[in-house]
Amino acid sequence: MSEDNQIDEIHPTKRAVAPGIEKILYKAIPVLDHGFVRVVDYMGDDSAIVQAARVSYGKGTKQTNQDRGLIQYLMRHRHTTPFEMCDIKFHIKLPIFIARQWIRHRTASVNEYSARYSIMANEFYIPRPEDMAMQSKSNKQGRDNILSAAESEKLLHLLTEDAGRCYNHYQEMINEDIHGNIVNDDNPSLARELARMNLTLNFYTEWYWKINLHNLFHFLALRADPHAQYEIRVYAEAMLNIVKEWVPFAYEAFMEYKVNAASFSGNGVKAIKAMLNGEKVTAETSGMSKREWLEFIATLEIDQS
């Protein structure tokens, strides 16, 4: 049965369910131009986190406010194991170059669409003009100012033209259409596992990605960050909204103690204590490197002008 057909199926269950995520289960949430994020299964909810923690801390109370407080305590004090009791499985469609960046998070189970076995679809990612930016001069893996309309149009044309030409040659090499039918009986058919090398990195792939909540939070802390690459950040933001529906207490604690929080080095803590005591602290007296000092004053929004 396909995921689309499962949407309307009703399956009685005795397991704990999260009403928020049940509303979006199996539904594709659009991302980029052809991508999506879809939840296909999950296990556990906020109560599973609390239940696991109370194995250690004792039965205690089950009042909602105290459950919320316990989850905040666990997040605040980095007690990560209870969050590992929740799992979620996504079906994700994403550009290959983002998949190669994404796979560096080695704490998930992944099964990707096989271009050795199946034929790749003629779908590739083309950025919006407002996302076409120059290479940053200060950050080797970042972007700088947006290109002009004329420059953007020229480069978008190249991206589209190159991807289209590569796919046409790919189809010519495998000698098959998208349904696997032979196009020309007189031509040889190159093995799919070889022909796929001709496709550009902006073509879309798909995978199933299963991960526990603790490791998902780690992924989201890095990839939903404003400094993350835009194309992976929009996937992380979509998943963050899913987490909000799935485990609202855990989401609230994550936002409070991870996303909207800040950490400081030992020298940073000393500097803050000195400032609170009315002492003047400078880059030279802080004990920090120039880069750490700049990050420190940016975090505290201190005006150094």
Active-site residue set: 223
Taking only Cα atoms into account, the Rg of the chain, rounded to an integer number of angstroms, comes to 24
- State the residue for tokens 């679809």: 121
Q: Residue 174 has which token pair?
A: 């495998």
Q: How many Cβ atoms are within 10 Å of 231's Cβ, its own excluded?
A: 19
H or E element, residue 70:
helix 64-76
CA distance 290 to 225: 23
Three-state SS at 39 = strand
Q: How many Cβ atoms are within 10 Å of 170's Cβ, its own excluded?
A: 23
Contacts of 12 (CB under 8 A, 6+ apart): none
- State the residue for tokens 């909207």: 260
Q: Are the beta carbons of 1 and 7 closer than 8 angstroms?
A: no
CA distances from 186 to 15, 171, 189 (A): 57, 15, 10
How far is C-alpha 184 from the chain's CA centre? Answer: 42
